[in-house]
Chains A and B, each alone.
Chain A
Amino acid sequence: QVQLVQSGAEVKKPGSSVKVSCKTSGGTFVNYAISWLRQAPGQGLEWMGRIIPLLGIPIHAQKFQGRLTITADKSTNTAYMELSSLRSEDTAVYYCAGGADYFGIGWGQGTLVTVSS
């Protein structure tokens, strides 16, 4: 059973950046994609992008082009999501999830990122 454990909650100022980690265990990290999604308070889900650690090439949703960096460290089985130029609308719970097209391998517990001055 694959487990994904995310880093803790963050409070950030507008214009700054946040980096969230997602450490995996119980599976072969390089063999499946790790995707990042977010959910604003009381809202639905939004896919942000993904990476296949074996290939190391990320894919980003067009909405986040230029602001989003997704990376993976094969030595520690950890994926990272960094979002820059934060604004209040980026306040959300950020999830990592295993899978490329649909997400059934496992989900992280979520990381609340609050953007506030």
Chain B
Amino acid sequence: EIVLTQSPGTLSLSPGERATLSCRASQSVGSTSLAWYQQKPGQAPRLLIYGASSRATGIPDRFSGSGSGTDFTLTISRLEPEDYAVYYCQQYGSSLTFGPGTKVDI
């Protein structure tokens, strides 16, 4: 099973700042078989990025994804108040597994 590790566990930033979230896989997930989700308390997750760098429908362009193989990054260029949430990466190169999440808070 591919294990995903996310860092940092918590990211404390102010509105307008840039957020950089990391996701590392225990083995290659294929070139782009990685997705990112945002989850707010009491809500279902929302897909942000698939294929490592493709934004899902309706996702603002301040969200961007990059990386391949074992190292991936989600960048939020300028944090908006509604972006404070937990972010999960998920690989689908070999079965499906999720990372433990990164909480972005103020």
Chain A residues proximal to chain B, CB less than 8 Å: 44-47, 61-62, 95, 97, 101-104, 107-110
Contacts and interface: CB of A to CB of B under 8 A. Distances in A.
B12 interface: no
Contact of A47 (B47, B56, B57, B98): B98
A107 B44 contact: yes
A102 B88 contact: no
Contact of B50 (A61, A104, A109): A104
Which of B44, B95, B101 counts the most chain A CB atoms within 10 A? B44
Interface residues of B, number: 20
A97 B96 CA distance: 14
Nearest to A109: B44
Given A103-B45, A110-B44, A45 B92 contact: no
Contacts, number: 45
A102 B98 contact: no
Contacts of B99: 44
Interface of B: 33, 35, 37, 44-47, 50, 56-57, 88, 90, 92, 95-101
Given A45-B45, A47-B98, A95-B44, A104 B33 contact: no
Contacts of B56: 104
Contacts of A61: 95-96
A82 B44 CA distance: 20
B47 A45 contact: no
B58 to A, nearest CB: 10
B46 to A, nearest CB: 8
B39 to A, nearest CB: 8
21 contacts: A44-B100, A44-B101, A45-B45, A45-B90, A46-B98, A47-B95, A47-B97, A47-B98, A61-B95, A61-B96, A62-B95, A97-B44, A101-B33, A102-B35, A102-B50, A102-B92, A103-B35, A103-B45, A104-B57, A107-B44, A110-B44
B95 A44 contact: no
Contacts of A101: 33, 35, 92, 96
